[in-house]
Copies of this chain bind each other. A is one copy, B any other.
């Protein structure tokens, strides 16, 4: 091959390869990281700075100019400066007219200002096209390339062409743009990075309240009562025995609470005769955090399993087993094998194991990557059918565990029944109502309502044969 063509290569490389010039105002941590990332992705980056001379540590290949000079070089200007300093931009109004201003700022508190930073900027610079973006990405993530947390960049803006161009930049940086509509969405986008598991709050508080209540309930029954009547020191039960009573009850109750709103919704729909009336707010919220409730329940179930499996390793477990042997020998009693005890113990353990196994399966299918690969029919099958089987198995586990002791008067202490009886209240209620809803006559009506049939309209216009719309 000839020399000429090889010479042509670098030329070809430098010109069509570079995408465009992006200007970044501010040489702080985020500005530097973003600039570095953009240079990596073939962008020409120009920094705007108050003191272009003193700015060090910038990625090689980036120029640092004054704000005015930098702004002239590019259509897209990324503002990596704090909201309090936006006012200085008014000096550049002429220069920035018609340009795309990317607001990447965040606040320190939710709803810190009456309007979002991006809307404030849009008011300051009404002739520029303000686009909100990049605020959900961390500087550290951009720098290290280790985007362990979200790659999604929420973008919003009033000018759709400006938004589209910013979304292209986002895409070219290897991130996933998510169009959130007009600048009105900026407030929500700015609050997003400040949120801390909002959907988990209700399940978390609920389970905390349940745990504390059950803990004191068990302390009264298992520690204070024996101390008052028999002067027994049972405080050691606080460490493992009582947790292993509190955790399974919390788990079962929370699991039942996952299925309770569905049952309530069905009753509401039956009463109203339509599915087109909005549920009350609390029910909506409850239904939206069912997944989180279920996962918290699964966490407690796991703890219960671990606490149960260490029983034979615990000093108390070993002491009790040794004591039982010795007592039997001392009293010269026979030790006949009781098949019914074996049945009882084996069944409740089997029910528990199978219930826990299905529970873990439910947990795994709720992983985002797994639930993304299943169809809606499969998802509903797992979460609804398998979920109810899990609830039935776990309730049966508790029922059989109680066995003969169930409601025997000797189990009452200060009129307080055994703790596991409390565990059964909600699950049994849910299962009984669900069973009633599955009766053919009721189920048929419910299915029709869920397919869009309305009791009132059906009466009004019965002439149309069937409902044509989906």
Which of B322, B337, B370, B372 is A328 in contact with, Cβ under 8 Å? B322
Number of copies: 3
277-323 of chain A: CB within 8 A of chain B:
288, 291, 299, 302-303, 305-316, 318-319, 321-323
The digit string for A79-102, where 1 denotes a CB below 8 A from any CB of B, is 011101100101001000000000
Is the Cβ of A16 less than 8 Å from the Cβ of B160? yes
In the assembled complex, the Cα of A8 lies from the Cα of B80 at a distance in Å of: 26
Encoded as 1 (CB less than 8 Å from any B CB) or 0, chain A from 435 to 470 comes to 000000000000000001000010000001011111
A137's nearest neighbour on chain B, judged by CB, is B376
Most chain B CB atoms below 10 A, which of A16, A27, A241: A16
Chain A interface mostly helix, strand, loop or mixed? helix
Q: Once the chains are docked, how many angstroms separate the CA of A93 from the CA of B236?
A: 82
- A162, closest chain B residue (CB): B16
Digitize A221-245: 1 where CB-to-B-CB distance is under 8 Å, 0 elsewhere: 0000000000001011001110100
Which residues on B sit within 8 Å (CB–CB) of A276? Answer: 29, 56-57
Q: Tell whether A308 pairs with B313 under 8 Å between CB atoms, given A275-B29, A374-B150.
A: yes
Q: How far is the CB of A41 from chain B (nearest CB, A)?
A: 7
Cβ–Cβ < 8 Å partners of A122 in chain B: 9
Q: Which residues of B contact A172 (CB under 8 A)?
A: 179
Q: Is A209 an interface residue (CB 8 A)?
A: no
Would you call B158 and A12 a contact (CB within 8 A)? yes
A271 within 8 A of B: no
* Chain A positions 181-212 with a Cβ under 8 Å from a chain B Cβ: 181-183, 192-197
* Interface membership of chain A positions 40-73, coded 1 if the CB is closer than 8 angstroms to chain B and 0 otherwise: 1110000000100010110000000000000000
Contact in complex: B82, A470 (CB < 8 Å): yes
| Contact assessment for A375 and B136 in the assembled complex, using a CB-CB cutoff below 8 Å | yes
Is A1 within 8 A of B470, CB to CB?
A: no
Residue of A13, A123, A354, A457 ringed by the most chain B CB atoms within 10 A: A13
Pick from B28, B136, B369: contact of A376, CB below 8 A. B136
Contact with B along A111-133 (1 / 0, CB 8 A): 00000000000111111000000
Kindly state whether residue A416 has any CB partner on chain B within 8 Å.
no
Q: Are A469 and B27 in contact (CB under 8 A)?
A: yes
Q: Which residues of B contact A344 (CB under 8 A)?
A: 315
| A151 adjacent to chain B (CB < 8 Å) | yes
Spot the interface stretch: A138-146, A249-257, A391-399, A417-425. A138-146
Other-chain contact of A299, B13, B306, B357, B367 (Cβ < 8 Å) = B357
Please tell me if the beta carbons of A291 and B368 are within 8 angstroms of each other in the complex: no
Assuming the A-B contacts A366-B148, A470-B82, are A178 and B182 also in contact, with contact meaning beta carbons closer than 8 angstroms in the complex? no
B residues in contact with A326, CB < 8 Å: 325, 328-329, 335
Distance in angstroms between the alpha carbons of A457 and B55 in the assembled complex: 11
User: Which 8 pairs, one residue from A and one from B, show the smallest C-beta to C-beta distance?
Assistant: A28-B469, A369-B369, A5-B126, A239-B346, A315-B345, A26-B469, A236-B342, A240-B346
For the A-B complex with A42-B160, A197-B378 known, give 7 more contacts whose Cβ atoms are closer than 8 Å.
A26-B470, A54-B457, A144-B288, A239-B349, A302-B357, A322-B325, A367-B367
Can you give 9 A-B contacts (C-beta < 8 A)?
A17-B181, A28-B452, A31-B470, A50-B468, A148-B366, A239-B342, A306-B357, A315-B344, A321-B322
Point out residues on A near B: beta carbons under 8 Å. 1, 5-6, 8-9, 12-13, 16-17, 19, 26-31, 40-42, 50, 54, 56-57, 80-82, 84-85, 88, 90, 93, 104-105, 122-127, 136-139, 141, 144, 146, 148-152, 158-161, 172, 174, 178-179, 181-183, 192-197, 233, 235-236, 239-241, 243, 275-276, 288, 291, 299, 302-303, 305-316, 318-319, 321-326, 328-329, 335, 337-339, 341-347, 349-350, 353-354, 356-357, 360-361, 366-379, 381, 452, 457, 464, 466-470
